[in-house]
Amino acid sequence: MTSGKYFWQFKFTTSFTGSVYAGVTSEEYFSPGYGIRGLFYGNTLSSGRVTYESFGEVIRGNDTVDILLDLKKNSLKMYVFHNKHPLGLAFDIKGPYPTPLFPAAIFYNPGEVEITKLNEIPTNLERELSFFTGFEGRWNFESVKYKGKVVSNPGWRKYALDIFMVRSRLYPSKEEKVADRSNWNSYYLTFRIRNRIKALLTKESENNFTITRQPTSLITVHGAKKEAENYVHKLIGDFTRLSFNETTLTLFGNDGLKMTFKKGKIQPPKVITESPFNDTLARN
């Protein structure tokens, strides 16, 4: 692939275990294992060497991932579609890059993929911002009270809580049936402050919920972030009940601990502008 627009479809035809990535590379940067360099999507974005933040969701068997490349001299843009859902601009590289580029997939365990060049270039490229109705979705911190006193400050409103039902998918494939969710009773909680603190919320009965701490890798934090995370840990350990409506969620704990959240939107992740290619080897 040289200058122009190119649209490639990756159809993952079998089930597999481990991470899978779809993207592009060049002949000189193609290498087995961790030696490959390029632009890749597989939930996270990756250069083959560096893994960036989550951009979508994990690729599974029967999924399709479409990659649109917009190539110009000293400019490369890559857009991603997962099961026909547009995720928007993933990579925006300024400067030289190796040519020609080829579609490539990365498997860390055995698997199969069919790669097809599509002629019809999509026009709807923008990500569909996720906004869930009801209990699921993004909730932004509003206030935290403890023993009757407000212990949070307005800066905490940039922190968030994500809630998604266990087994749910943001971008299901056409082969996946729409499951009856009425009897599902478990939700993943992810508190996003500096660390991502994870827990499992289980509905035991109509008005009875429990929270169980989930394995989480933590780094050291200081100041307001540390204070906020300390209250989150306390809430997980001392949770008693919750209440919510379409716009407000409140979690209660012992000793008058009360966390209030307002419904928000999950904003698109950052576009990657760092080139994975060594400029001394890249060609125009």
CATH fold of 137-263, please? Lipocalin (2.40.128)
| Dihedral of the alpha carbons of 85, 173, 161, 209, in degrees to the nearest 10 | 150
| Type of residue found at 223 | G
How far apart are the C-alpha atoms of 106 and 16, rounded to whole Å?
12
pLDDT at 43 over 50: yes
Quickly count: other Cβ atoms within 10 Å of residue 238's Cβ: 13
pLDDT at residue 217, rounded to an integer? 80
pLDDT at residue 179, rounded to an integer? 57
Give the pLDDT band of residue 279 (cuts 50, 70, 90).
Answer: very low
Exposure of 44 by Cβ count < 10 A (0-12 exposed, 13-18 middle, 19+ buried)? middle
Convert the pLDDT of each residue in 11-36 to its tens digit: 998 778 788 999 999 998 998 767 89
Q: Work out the mean pLDDT of the chain and round it to a whole number.
A: 89
Secondary structure E strands in the chain: 4-12, 20-26, 39-42, 44-46, 51-54, 64-72, 75-82, 85-94, 101-107, 113-118, 137-146, 149-150, 160-165, 186-192, 196-205, 208-213, 239-244, 248-253, 258-263
Pairwise pLDDT comparison (247 vs 178), residue with the higher score: 247
Q: If you average pLDDT over residues 206-235, what whole number do you get?
A: 92
Domain ranges of the chain: 4-118, 137-263
pTM score, whole prediction: 0.75
On whether the CB atoms of residues 149 and 47 are closer than 8 A, the answer is no
On whether the 4-118 domain is CATH 2.40.50.140, my answer is no
| Type of residue found at 235 | L
pLDDT at residue 130, rounded to an integer? 67
How far apart are the C-alpha atoms of 24 and 100, rounded to whole Å?
10
